[in-house]
Chains A and B, each alone.
Chain A
Amino acid sequence: MKKFLAIVMVLCLMAPAFALADDMPVVKIGVFEPASGDSGAGGKQEMLGMQYANKVAPTVVIGDTEYAVELVYADNQSATDKAPSAASELVNQKVSVVLGSYGSGVSMAGSPIFADAGIPAIGVTCTNPQVTLGNTHYFRICFLDPFQGTVLANYAFKEMGAQVAYCLAELGNDYDVGLAYYFQQAFEALGGMVISETFPTGTSDFTSYINNATGYGAGVFFAPCSLAYSTLIVDQAAGLNVNFALMGGDTWDSNMVLEAAAGTNLKILVSTFYQEGGNAEFDNGFKAWLNEDAEAMTNNGGNDIIAAVSVMGYDAYFTALEALKAAGSTDSKAVNEALWNVTLDGVSGAIAFDAETGDAIRDTAYIKTVNTENGAWDFVAVQGVN
């Protein structure tokens, strides 16, 4: 045991020696994303955007020096209790700025660690308002749940004519619970009725919940949950021949949902950040890269359909580069100061931060539906709050 420990410790000390031995100075950007767990698949797609961006722009000029950008990964395992140690790992690696995460709960759990270390973080697709509220180090480039929930409620009530909505959220998942809450607020304000239920983590049998929705006569089944559960819900709803539409938030925008829904007669609607075809240059470049890199292809679920979260990851990376340029230094505190005034004309739209909360000012969401015949996304509408 002693010998073993000794070897381990020696290896630990050697580990940094394996790192880049380039002449160019290195600036480290932390990637705080889930690579395993319920949100692992989504987190990997978000990371793909960052990796592609890193390939497009591998260096950045800060002040007068050109720096190589190194992405440092820490897997938060989609779990709020694992997130703090993943965050400490990034702090320990002395990153200048952090990108992430996919999922609001883990972002909130990692947030205090970054705050203590004075490292700014750019939320990519964490939509819960509490992520940025009351702090000065967490920023975000996506829209928020109150907005997204309202958009979806409006669409369900006005366009689809649903009177009763059934909401299903995972217990203890801040993303789910938050989005369902804001959806409920908006839907009830419109005059509809909402039944809201929760399921425990690790559930795989959703038939009873789907039966509940049928029993209540729901016109729409809103389940803003992790990708792992959404595919299960799609599959089981298809088996039960439901006559309501399924609705999901941005997590549902994934080719895995397409796969599960292909060949069924389900109606599935999702709100998201980006619609493929919005930026041809990005689309083509990204697809070419996926087709070249086998590992990237696997992480994208085996085909080259672009997930909106990849686009957001891409934009987050460039937002970070802009902040580094504006700061003129790799010091995390300077980057934090600079981030407030950063603007970027990103692939997913223009990004500028609200001076109070640090949220990107966004007022549009895309609504897509699954074409169950050819297993692709069909564009439905660009939706604002009104």
Chain B
Amino acid sequence: MKTKKKFNPAMLWAALVIVLVYVAVFITEQLLPASSMLFTVLKKGATYALVAVSMNLLNGFTGLFSLGQAGFMLIGAYTYAIFTIPVADRMNVYQYYNGGLVQFAMPVVPALIMAGLAAALFAFLIGLPVLRLKSDYLAIATLGFAEIIRAIFQWNKLGALTNGSNILREFPTFNDFNIRNAEGEVTLYLSTLVPFLIAGVCIALIVMLINSTFGRSLRAIKDDEIAAEAMGINLFHHKQMSFCISSFFAGIGGAMLAMYQSTIQAKAFTSAMTYEILLIVVIGGIGSVTGSCISSFLFVACSEWWLRFLDQKQMIGNFEVPLLRNGFRLVVFSIIIMIVVLFFRQGIMGTKELPDLFKRKKKSQQEVKA
């Protein structure tokens, strides 16, 4: 264990790469037309990156196999939406509930934090009974809780708060961060940079947590629960903390998803959503934050953009490419995923992080010189 922090050039390089990404996002956003598919992918990718990293904190770093992510995202998304819908629009949105119960609107940032806290609170309550269960029982119990949460949010009797099972909309979205002049024309595009900033701050917090004493305890739990307990780590307390923190960020991720989609509905937060995020984590590498981020963007880009052409008939000259029709994209996509799951179990990054890439490069260069 290192006790003193030495100057580490790999860290510097990594920081530089991250800064470059942000600058590139900012510049492309000003240059390319806003309708480009690129921005859809970037916004959704940033959202999924945060959720995937939060799931990785549980599955990859604590060794808790939880499948409740969609439930916590739902809580986050709803909390955010409920507290930010402008008062003037509430009558329209809560059309069957007389404008609803909440009659004020919060600014975005406090609402985001509220979203996280609400998810964390639920996680705390759910964690009390569930976290004592072992691996697959935990998975199925959290999956069950996600379904229960969904049913509760859809219950008619809570309609004044949740709008029943109906759609929530009119809350501030990413596009509302664009700066407009008096005529309503956009002078400065920020709608893609903002999700990057929110996700970036949250992921940075998670990384700091992972590298702290607390994070090392979590890894110890993952490697061997009994040994960790013998070392004086309070298992339940640590698992509970990890579960709550992960859910906190999943809640914020849910709120970001709401901002990306501009409308939300409890119906969409099914176990299929959790599976999707789990697959992102696996593709990126269980136990790598960088991997989760990269694979989120790849996953979203493939499913929303690059593979779209597989869904339409394509002609090469007079030859109609066979098999291409609605749904083929998803078939190709799932086969790619199966290949990764079966043959590249390490995923894109294994357990490596961004700075590790530069380290290895350096080492191999030295070997070449020698």
Taking Cβ atoms with an 8 Å cutoff, the residues of A that contact B are 5, 8-9, 11-12, 15, 18, 35-36, 75, 79-81, 84-85, 88-89, 91-92, 94, 105, 108-109, 111-113, 116-117, 129-130, 133-134, 171-174, 177-178, 181, 198, 200-201
Q: Could you write out 6 A-B pairs with CB less than 8 Å apart?
A: A92-B35, A109-B261, A112-B173, A130-B95, A173-B267, A198-B165
Residue pair B154, A91 in contact (C-beta under 8 Å): no
CA distance A173 to B166 in the complex (A): 7
B123 CB–A CB distance under 8 Å: no
Residue pair B166, A174 in contact (C-beta under 8 Å): yes
CA distance A177 to B265 in the complex (A): 13
Residue pair A92, B37 in contact (C-beta under 8 Å): yes
B308 CB–A CB distance under 8 Å: yes
Name the CB-closest residue of A to B269.
A81
CA distance A29 to B93 in the complex (A): 29
CA distance A173 to B89 in the complex (A): 20
CA distance A178 to B173 in the complex (A): 25
Residue pair B263, A15 in contact (C-beta under 8 Å): no
Q: Which of B92, B154, B262 contacts A133 (CB 8 A)?
A: B92
B268 CB–A CB distance under 8 Å: yes
Residue pair B268, A84 in contact (C-beta under 8 Å): no
Residue pair A88, B154 in contact (C-beta under 8 Å): no
Residue pair B265, A15 in contact (C-beta under 8 Å): no
B107 CB–A CB distance under 8 Å: no
List residues of chain A with CB within 8 A of the CB of B35. 88, 91-92, 94, 117
List residues of chain B with CB within 8 A of the CB of A134. 89, 92, 170
CA distance A181 to B44 in the complex (A): 34
Residue pair B167, A105 in contact (C-beta under 8 Å): yes
B346 CB–A CB distance under 8 Å: no
B14 to chain A, nearest CB (A): 21
CA distance A92 to B36 in the complex (A): 6
CA distance A53 to B173 in the complex (A): 37
CA distance A84 to B304 in the complex (A): 11
User: Do A80 and B95 form a contact, CB below 8 Å, given A109-B261, A172-B165?
Assistant: no
List residues of chain B with CB within 8 A of the CB of A8. 306-307
CA distance A109 to B260 in the complex (A): 11
List residues of chain B with CB within 8 A of the CB of A105. 167, 265
Name the CB-closest residue of A to B317.
A18
Residue pair B154, A171 in contact (C-beta under 8 Å): yes
B344 to chain A, nearest CB (A): 9
Residue pair A112, B169 in contact (C-beta under 8 Å): yes
In the A-B complex, the 3 residue pairs with the smallest Cβ-Cβ separation, listed nearest first, are A81-B268, A172-B267, A172-B165
- Please report which residues of chain B, range 295-335, place their CB below 8 angstroms from some CB of chain A when the two chains form the complex: 304-309, 311-312, 314-316, 326-327
Residue pair A109, B37 in contact (C-beta under 8 Å): no
B40 CB–A CB distance under 8 Å: yes
List residues of chain A with CB within 8 A of the CB of B305. 12
Name the CB-closest residue of B to A105.
B167
**Given A12-B308, A18-B316, A113-B262, 8 other A-B residues pairs in contact with their CB atoms under 8 A:** A9-B306, A15-B309, A75-B326, A88-B37, A109-B169, A112-B173, A171-B154, A201-B267
Name the CB-closest residue of A to B303.
A85
Name the CB-closest residue of A to B270.
A201
List residues of chain A with CB within 8 A of the CB of B351. none
Residue pair A18, B169 in contact (C-beta under 8 Å): no
List residues of chain B with CB within 8 A of the CB of A109. 167, 169, 261-263, 265
Interface size on B, residues (CB 8 A): 44
List residues of chain B with CB within 8 A of the CB of A75. 311, 326
Could you say which of A11, A85, A117, A181 has the most chain B C-beta atoms within 10 Å of its C-beta?
A85
User: Do A80 and B92 form a contact, CB below 8 Å, given A12-B306, A88-B37, A174-B166?
Assistant: no
List residues of chain A with CB within 8 A of the CB of B287. none
List residues of chain B with CB within 8 A of the CB of A91. 35
Residue pair A89, B308 in contact (C-beta under 8 Å): yes
Name the CB-closest residue of B to A4.
B336
CA distance A9 to B173 in the complex (A): 30
List residues of chain A with CB within 8 A of the CB of B311. 75
List residues of chain A with CB within 8 A of the CB of B95. 129-130, 178
Residue pair B326, A35 in contact (C-beta under 8 Å): yes
List residues of chain B with CB within 8 A of the CB of A36. 326-327
CA distance A177 to B169 in the complex (A): 16
CA distance A109 to B326 in the complex (A): 21
CA distance A153 to B186 in the complex (A): 48
Residue pair B315, A85 in contact (C-beta under 8 Å): no
CA distance A130 to B167 in the complex (A): 10
List residues of chain A with CB within 8 A of the CB of B262. 84, 109, 112-113
User: Do A172 and B265 form a contact, CB below 8 Å, given A129-B95, A130-B95?
Assistant: yes
CA distance A368 to B151 in the complex (A): 36
Residue pair B261, A84 in contact (C-beta under 8 Å): yes
Q: Which of B37, B40, B169, B307 contacts A108 (CB 8 A)?
A: B169
List residues of chain B with CB within 8 A of the CB of A130. 92-93, 95
Residue pair A171, B263 in contact (C-beta under 8 Å): no
Hey, what's the 0/1 contact readout for B14-40 against A, CB within 8 Å counting as 1?
A: 000000000000000000001111001
B236 CB–A CB distance under 8 Å: no
B315 to chain A, nearest CB (A): 5
Residue pair B267, A177 in contact (C-beta under 8 Å): no
List residues of chain B with CB within 8 A of the CB of A12. 305-306, 308-309
User: Do A172 and B261 form a contact, CB below 8 Å, given A11-B309, A75-B326?
Assistant: no
List residues of chain B with CB within 8 A of the CB of A9. 306
B260 to chain A, nearest CB (A): 8
Residue pair B309, A172 in contact (C-beta under 8 Å): no
- Please report which residues of chain B, range 243-281, place their CB below 8 angstroms from some CB of chain A when the two chains form the complex: 260-268
List residues of chain B with CB within 8 A of the CB of A92. 35-37, 40
Residue pair A116, B306 in contact (C-beta under 8 Å): no
CA distance A92 to B307 in the complex (A): 15
List residues of chain B with CB within 8 A of the CB of A117. 34-35
B286 to chain A, nearest CB (A): 18
CA distance A373 to B139 in the complex (A): 52
User: Do A174 and B327 form a contact, CB below 8 Å, given A79-B268, A117-B35, A198-B156?
Assistant: no
CA distance A360 to B313 in the complex (A): 35
Hey, what's the 0/1 contact readout for B170-196 against A, CB within 8 Å counting as 1?
A: 100101000000000000000000000
User: Do A112 and B327 form a contact, CB below 8 Å, given A88-B40, A181-B96?
Assistant: no
